[in-house]
């Protein structure tokens, strides 16, 4: 039920190989530059946290969530970028009799602005801010845990991104975001959480999202590797009761660690390849996921400018 938060960070990074003088701290397209990407993800778990209790469920078996993200980033100016993501999902449970679903999830658009860029003797520091909006593209049912495509709410997000890279290619980046979610709509007008609700609307709790990545360019401009930590935490919500199913208004927490590599063939064709792996190690009302991610990016060099 869980938004694919980590793609965005990944994608910004994946699209940045622009020219020789920039490293990955330049997480922005230059003016009029365009980068597109296709990223496939498998999120799979065989245990989940029912409240704080980590348990298997014989009527779910493995829960597999496959996502295909189609993304584009465009340089509105050298300091302001627009990013759009369209995800197509497929869910399935390997046990039990509940039918998996597939379809488009939530289209999202982000604006990202470089606030500060400072070069010092040790390296370069930059601070960026991003704001985004996402909304369901289809009428998928959020009240279908754990097979639902998404939470069914609209989301407004604001993020701050701090990034530092040393002269010899070590880098660290921290992203902190606040996600405001609107009500989701379900197909019945009464539901019980830990209290009665006489409405078809569900209050999806707001959340904080933190992502920290540390890494190094091993071959300058060609091969990069990184490790990371990510945490998602709703600010409100209720636990799944014993032997109940998940619901969009749940309290949701998940902590993950991961690693990734990026490869840009030296021939400068415009293509890039990315791969990541994440392992969830703590959570609440979410699956103990392992996430495998594989993607291709393509950078158009249509309009070279020096802005």
Partner 1 sequence: MKKIIFCFTSALISCSILLISCQKDIPNYVEFEAYEWSGTDPNGGTWKTILDIDPSTISIPSPQLSGTPEYRASLDDLAAKTNNLTSSQKQSIQYWTNNPTIRWNEIARSLAAKYNLAPAPNEQGQYPGPDPANPDQYPLFPFAHPPYACRAFAYLSASQFDALVVSWHHKSVHTQAEHADVDARINLAFPKSGYSPYPSDGAAVTATSLAILKAMFPLEHAYLDAKAAEMYQVLEWSGQNTQSDIAAGKLIGQDIAQRYLQRASSDGMRQAQTNRTVSDSIKNAAFQRFGWQWENLEAPQRPVGIAPKYGKVRTWFVPDVTQIRPGPPPAPGSAEFAEAVRELESVQKNLTNEQRKIANWWSDGLSSYTPPGHWNRLACDYIIGDRLNPLRTARVLAYMNTAIMDAGIACWDVKYYYHYPRPSQAVVGFKTILGIPNFPSYTSGHSTFSSAAAETLAHLFPQKGNEARAWAREAAESRIYAGIHFRFDSEVGIDQGKKVSEFVIARAQTDGAQ
As a whole number of angstroms, the longest Cα–Cα distance in the chain is 62
Report which DSSP code applies to 30.
P
Residue 203 touches partner 1, criterion: CB under 8 A: yes
Taking CB under 8 A as the criterion, the residue among 19, 54, 94, 99 binding partner 1 is 99
Q: What are phi and psi of 103, to 5 degrees?
A: 155, 175
Q: Which residues of 168-192 are buried (b: 16+ CB within 10 A; e: fewer)?
A: ebebebebebebbbbbbbbeeeebe
CB of 97 to partner 1, least distance (A): 5
Place of tokens 């990315």: 274
What part of residues 137-156 is at the interface with partner 1 (CB under 8 A)? 139, 141, 143-144, 154, 156
Q: Which of 11, 6, 119, 126 is nearest to 78 (CA)?
A: 126
The contact pattern for partner 1, residues 246-285, with x = CB under 8 A and - = no contact, is ----------------------------------------
Residue 304 touches partner 1, criterion: CB under 8 A: no
CB of 248 to partner 1, least distance (A): 12
Residue 185 touches partner 1, criterion: CB under 8 A: no
Place of tokens 């584009």: 72
Query: For residue 23, how far is the Cα from the chain centroid?
Result: 22
Residue 191 touches partner 1, criterion: CB under 8 A: yes
The contact pattern for partner 1, residues 216-245, with x = CB under 8 A and - = no contact, is -------------------------xxxxx
Taking CB under 8 A as the criterion, the residue among 196, 267, 302, 306 binding partner 1 is 196
Q: Are strands 48-50 and 53-55 parallel, antiparallel or unpaired?
A: antiparallel
What part of residues 103-132 is at the interface with partner 1 (CB under 8 A)? 109, 111, 131
Prior bond of 144 cis (ω within 30°): no
Residue closer to partner 1 (CB basis): 117 or 244: 244
Taking CB under 8 A as the criterion, the residue among 68, 125, 133, 277 binding partner 1 is 133
Give yes or no for a contact between 42 and 64, defined as CB atoms under 8 angstroms apart.
yes
Alpha-carbon distances, residue 40 vs 79, 88, 176, 283 (angstroms): 28, 10, 24, 24
CB of 300 to partner 1, least distance (A): 17
Residues in touch with partner 1 (CB under 8 A)? 31, 58-59, 76-77, 80, 82, 95-100, 109, 111, 131, 133, 139, 141, 143-144, 154, 156, 180, 182-183, 186-192, 195-199, 201-203, 241-245
């Amino acid at each position: 039920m869980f938004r694919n938060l980590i793609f965005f960070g990944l994608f910004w990074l994946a699209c940045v190989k622009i020219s020789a003088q920039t490293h990955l701290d330049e997480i922005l397209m230059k003016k009029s530059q365009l980068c597109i990407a296709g990223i496939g993800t498998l999120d799979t778990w065989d245990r989940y946290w029912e409240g704080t209790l980590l348990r298997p469920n014989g009527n779910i078996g493995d829960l597999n969530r496959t996502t295909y993200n189609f993304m584009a980033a465009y340089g509105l100016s050298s300091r302001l970028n627009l990013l759009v993501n369209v995800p197509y999902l497929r869910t399935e449970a390997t046990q039990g009799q509940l039918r998996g679903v597939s379809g488009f999830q939530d289209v999202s658009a982000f604006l990202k602005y470089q606030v500060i860029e400072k070069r010092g003797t040790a390296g370069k520091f930059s601070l960026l801010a991003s704001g985004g909006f996402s909304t369901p593209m289809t009428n998928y049912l959020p009240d279908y845990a754990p097979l639902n495509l998404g939470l069914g709410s609209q989301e407004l997000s604001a993020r701050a991104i701090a990034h530092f890279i040393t002269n010899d290619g070590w880098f660290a980046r921290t992203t902190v975001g606040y996600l405001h979610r609107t009500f989701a709509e379900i197909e019945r007008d009464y539901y019980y959480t830990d209290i009665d609700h006489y409405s078809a609307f569900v209050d999806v709790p707001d959340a904080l999202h933190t992502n920290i990545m540390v890494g190094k360019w091993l071959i300058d401009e060609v091969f990069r590797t990184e490790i990371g930590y990510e945490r998602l935490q709703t600010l409100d919500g209720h636990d799944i009761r014993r032997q109940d199913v998940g619901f969009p208004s749940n309290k949701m927490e998940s902590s993950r660690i991961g690693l990734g590599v990026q490869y840009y063939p030296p021939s400068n064709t415009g293509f890039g390849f990315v791969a990541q792996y994440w392992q969830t190690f703590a959570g609440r009302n979410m699956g103990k996921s392992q996430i495998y991610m594989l993607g291709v990016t393509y950078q158009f060099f249509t309009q070279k400018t020096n802005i």
